[in-house]
Amino acid sequence: MPARAGTVDRLFLDLYCTVVRHPQHGEVWNELTEGLARLLELPLVMVGHYGAHGTLGILATSRESALWWDLHRVPERWDGSLVGRGLAALALGDESPATLDLHDERFVCWREGADRDRLRSGCAVRVRSRLGEHLLQFFAPRADAFDDDLKTLLLELGERTQRLLDDLALLREQKLLSSALEHAGNAAFITDREGTIVWCNRAFSRMYGYTRDEAVGQNPRFLSSGRQGVRYYRDLWSTIRSGRVWAGETVDRDRSGVAYTVRQTITPFSWNDEQSHFLAVHDDISAEYAQRLRSQLRDGIDAVTGLMTRAAFEERLTQATADDGREWTLMLVSLREFHDGVRALGGRVADSVAAEIGQRLREALGGDVPAAAMDPGEYAVQIAHDGAIDTTALVKSLEAALARPFGHLSAALIARPRVAVAHFPADGRSFDALMHHADQQLADRPVSRARR
């Protein structure tokens, strides 16, 4: 028996090697039947599949024979018809393994082929797996070949075959998903929990110009354009490490320095029941983003808040940075926590609150101070250093105006503005540099527990 056990293990090890090499091909069926025939020293072993129309389709045989040909010509059935009384029908019942003398009237349709092959008895084991219902059929030249010990072994072989087929189904599914990602039109890559790229698809290489060998082992920050601030990445990582999907827009650069605006979705997933990797999918929306910027520049005013659009404000400040002799201050006002709470109440409520925030900003600033709606829940103000405006007093005025209760909201929703300032040219000589300086201030300040 130990020698037989070792032989079984070697057979299924070889079968697993075939499954790994050729998961989409039928070689495993041929190796299975031929290997079982050698192992059991039986003249004929077949594997079949219970089809949707009540017939058993023969997938493979250990050798071509007269009985094999007859079973192809007149397939076994299990629906109670004249030919529905063979091994396939018996194995569907409680008789597993099912045995049958091939001279029994229930096998009459295939007796001639069995006689030509000098076969006298048959045994069948039903195998249920993720690949469907299968049947292992074993044929012997003696009527008493399938004793209790051999039936026990056949049941064990059926169980091993079930596990093999379950693993084959899982491998095929994984291969299918891998192929789908590999050939997807959107750039995609996978990182480990520390953010190191472990895989990327062809679309990633086409988009960014890096081969898979060049990208694997890198952190995705090597694509960064520098347009995203500290808080952007802090929010991204806190979201995905908590097991939630993160989605947002990102500006990346390819190998030659060309900027791409992408809509990025990052999905955490598990390996061995432990969250360990992240799948990032990038959709190039550069054309859409450029159209949006042109629209914002053309309109100049945000339709909801009545403030300047981000594009118009950035254009204004970019022009202002050309004059090194004129000092001014960029003020960044964040109401993100408040905005997140209001957004949960629905789009109409959020738009109404955003409109009121715009009105309060205009009242607090007066008509001569440019202000813009930058991102959801964030606003920016440019303050000229002409002696007419007290920056400290203006900050206090803004905080007081925004902290007033909103009449149509719950008392629990209170706006607590967080304000950061960046001075031109001391803190930066470009719009991006000034925004980064202000963003860093907000990132360094503690936020409420709900946002951590």
Q: Per-residue pLDDT tens for 92-138?
A: 876 679 999 999 988 888 999 999 999 999 999 999 999 999 999 99
Find the mean pLDDT for residues 48-71.
92
Task: Verify cis geometry, omega within 30 degrees of 0, for the bond prior to 97.
Answer: yes
Q: Kindly report, residue by residue over 23-58, the tens digit of the pLDDT.
A: 877 889 999 999 999 999 999 999 999 987 888 999
- Residue at 239: amino acid letter: T
Q: Kindly report, residue by residue over 310-358, the tens digit of the pLDDT.
A: 999 999 999 999 887 788 999 999 998 898 888 888 888 889 999 999 9
Q: How many CB atoms lie within 10 A of CB 444?
A: 10
Instruction: For 420-451, give the secondary structure using H, E and C.
Output: EEEEECCCCCCHHHHHHHHHHHHHHCCCCHHH
Which among 69-83, 214-228, 260-274, 373-387 has the top mean pLDDT?
214-228
Q: Does domain 183-284 have CATH number 3.30.450.20?
A: yes
- Rounded distance between C-alpha atoms, residue 445 and residue 452, angstroms: 12
What is the side-by-side order of every strand in the sheet holding 132-140? 56-61, 44-50, 132-140, 121-129, 98-101
Query: What is the structure's pLDDT at 161?
Result: 96
Q: How many CB atoms lie within 10 A of CB 152?
A: 11
- Of the candidates 172, 176, 399, 190, the residue with the CA atom closest to the CA atom of residue 278: 190
- Of the candidates 338, 336, 371, 370, the residue with the CA atom closest to the CA atom of residue 443: 336
Residue 389 has pLDDT above 70, yes or no: no
Average pLDDT, the chain: 89
Instruction: For 242-273, give the secondary structure using H, E and C.
Output: CCCCEEEEEEEECCCCCEEEEEEEEEEEEECC
Query: What is the structure's pLDDT at 364?
Result: 86
Structure tokens given for 433: 């540099």
Q: How far is CA 12 from CA 33, 169, 240, in A?
A: 12, 16, 40
Find the mean pLDDT for residues 373-377.
90
Q: How confident is the model at residue 69 (pLDDT cuts 50, 70, 90)?
A: very high
Q: How confident is the model at residue 80 (pLDDT cuts 50, 70, 90)?
A: low
- Rounded distance between C-alpha atoms, residue 129 and residue 166, angstroms: 6
Find the mean pLDDT for residues 350-367.
88
Topology classification of domain 2-178: Beta-Lactamase (3.30.450)
CB 271 within 8 A of CB 277: yes
Which residue would you say has higher pLDDT here, 348 or 218?
Answer: 218
Q: What is the total residue count of the chain?
A: 452
Contacts with 56 (C-beta within 8 Å, 6 or more apart), sequence order = 48, 49, 50, 71, 75, 76, 77, 78, 88, 135
- Of the candidates 243, 412, 265, the residue with the CA atom closest to the CA atom of residue 344: 412
Q: Kindly report, residue by residue over 248-258, the tens digit of the pLDDT.
A: 999 999 999 99
- Residue at 382: amino acid letter: Q
All structural domains of the chain with their residue ranges:
2-178, 183-284, 287-451
Query: What is the structure's pLDDT at 446?
Result: 54
- Rounded distance between C-alpha atoms, residue 434 and residue 423, angstroms: 7
- Rounded distance between C-alpha atoms, residue 128 and residue 49, angstroms: 10
Q: What single-letter DSSP state applies at residue 285?
A: -
Query: What is the structure's pLDDT at 254?
Result: 95
Q: What single-letter DSSP state applies at residue 404?
A: S
Which residue would you say has higher pLDDT here, 411 or 307?
Answer: 307
- Rounded distance between C-alpha atoms, residue 30 and residue 38, angstroms: 12
Intrachain domains 2-178 and 287-451 with the same fold:
no
Topology classification of domain 287-451: Alpha-Beta Plaits (3.30.70)
Query: What is the structure's pLDDT at 121?
Result: 96
- Residue at 19: amino acid letter: V
Q: Kindly report, residue by residue over 144-198, the tens digit of the pLDDT.
A: 999 999 999 999 999 999 999 999 999 999 889 889 999 999 999 999 999 999 9
Contacts with 327 (C-beta within 8 Å, 6 or more apart), sequence order = 385, 423, 424, 425, 426
Q: Kindly report, residue by residue over 183-198, the tens digit of the pLDDT.
A: 999 999 999 999 999 9
Find the mean pLDDT for residues 393-401.
86
